[in-house]
Amino acid sequence: MEIIVLVKEVLDPDLPPSKFSVDTKNNRVIPPEGIPPVISPYDAVAIEAALRIKEEAGGRITVVSLGNPSAEAVVRKALAMGADAGIVVSDPSFDLEDSYLAAHILTQTIRKIGKYDLILCGRQAVDWDRGVTGPIMAEYLAVPVATLARAIKVSDRSVRVERVLADGHETLEMDLPAIITVSNEFGQARIPSAWGVIKAVKEEIPVWSAKDIGAEDAQNKDNPGEGRLRRLYIPSYERKCEFLTGERPEELAAALVKKIYSRETASP
């Protein structure tokens, strides 16, 4: 079983809001100095899923991260958890905020890797929470996709997936090769063992550029209409407390209803 896991480095979700700020001019988050990015937590669960599949069915796990050269650290973490090989895909020409583009670049990467049975990724990256890269890639690669997996069972040429639904779950069966996006319900990602880390320290992690994967034209590719980021800002919350006055409960209730529907308190 050849498994490819896609992982993304994101701003540490444990950061308190005070630790980062937004460059409103360029619509960018300014990451806090000195606090390293982490593997997107859902992607870590995807690695866990790959490891469990490998433990059961055997095979090889390749981890791919599209991003900055610093993504090497999250790939190394995946290797420490038990993945077999890692690749960073990075090129200054890539616009990393466009999901279609990211899916295109990753698809090119997969084509260069060649053989695969299963592609796993997290249900969504915790930075933008879009959750579309996996499905778009399925379209590009013309393979079936199942999202929000909470359990995965591979057999010879097919895979059975339990999908999380709002009110329960459903079970699908797809032919391989396929793409699965993994949800947190799958289980906890393992913590790398110390020996795993030591082994991973010595691994070579190649960095593939646009040229290496034939994605030089990536920027010119049509964007089929994904929303564009207009304005990025940290919302401000204001709290106000006011006591209404009145003799009788009926009076108070009426005043409260009035207040709720008044312009002052209605949300903009």
Partner 1 sequence: MKVEEKLALNKYAPATQAHITVNKGLCADCDLRPCVYGCPADCFILKEDHVSFSYEGCLECGSCRIICPKGALQWAYPQGGFGICLQYG
Partner 2 sequence: MTEKFDAIVVGGGPAGCASACVMAKSGLNVLLFERGQYAGAKNMWGGAFFGPQLKELFPNFREEAPVERFVTRHTFSFLTKKGSTTLDFKPAFSGPPSDNGFIVMRAKFDKWLAKKVEQAGAIVVTSMLVDDLLLDGGRVTGVRIGKEEFSSDAVILAEGVNGILAQKAGLCSGVSADNMKQGVKEVIALPKQTIEDRFNVNGSEGAAMEFVGSCTRGVPGGGFLYTNKESLSVGIVVELGALVKNRLKASDLLEEFKEYPDVARLIRGGKTVEYSAHLIPTGGLKMMPKLFSAGVLVAGDAAALVLGTGLILEGANFAMASGVAAAETVITAKKKNDFSETALRDYERLLREGFVLRDMHTFKETPRLLKNTRIYDLYPEVVFEVLENILENDGKPRTKAYKIAGKVIKTRVGFARLLSDLWAMRKMT
Q: Which does 15 bind (CB under 5 to 8 A by kind): partner 1, partner 2, none?
A: partner 1
- Distance between CA 45 and CA 107 in Å, rounded? 21
From partner 2, partner 1, none, interface partner of 16 (C-beta below 5 to 8 A by class): partner 1
Closer of 40 and 107 to partner 1 (Cβ): 40
Looking at 13, 23, 30, 36, which residue binds partner 2 (CB under 8 A)?
A: 36
Element (H, E) at 107: helix 99-113
The distance of closest approach from Cβ of residue 147 to partner 1 in the complex, given in angstroms and rounded to an integer, is: 27
Query: Is residue 198 a contact residue for partner 2 (CB under 8 A)?
Result: yes
Q: CB-wise, 34 or 225, nearer to partner 2?
A: 34
User: Cα(136)–Cα(117) distance, rounded to whole angstroms?
Assistant: 17
Site for partner 2 contains 70 (CB under 8 A): no
Q: Which does 197 bind (CB under 5 to 8 A by kind): partner 2, partner 1, none?
A: partner 2
DSSP state of 266: S
Q: Measured from the CB of residue 31, what is the shortest distance to partner 1 in angstroms?
A: 11
What is 114-182 written as a DSSP string? Answer: ---SEEEEESS-TTT----HHHHHHHHHT--EEEEEEEEEE-SSEEEEEEEETTEEEEEEEESSEEEEE
CA torsion angle for 79, 84, 89, 95 (degrees, to 10)?
-60
3-state secondary structure 168-203: EEEEEEEECCEEEEECHHHCCCCCCCHHHHHHHHCC
Strand residue runs (E) in 8-77: 9-10, 21-23, 28-30, 38-39, 60-66
Q: Is 193 in the site for partner 2 (CB under 8 A)?
A: yes
- Among the residue ranges 134-142, 188-196, 204-212, 258-266, the one whose residues contact partner 2 (CB under 8 A): 188-196
Residue 236 found at the interface with partner 2 (CB under 8 A): no
Cβ neighbours of residue 236 under 8 Å, at least 6 residues apart? Answer: none
Residue identified by tokens 């981890």 is 63
Among 142, 195, 249, 266, binds partner 2 (CB under 8 A): 195
Least gap, CB of 80 to partner 1 (angstroms): 12
Q: Give the nearest distance from C-beta 164 to partner 2 in angstroms.
A: 29
- Report what 41 binds from partner 1, partner 2, none; CB cut-off 5-8 Å by kind: none
Q: Interface residues with partner 1 (CB under 8 A)?
A: 12, 14-16, 18-19, 32-35, 191
List residues binding partner 2 (CB under 8 A): 18-19, 34, 36, 191-195, 197-198, 201
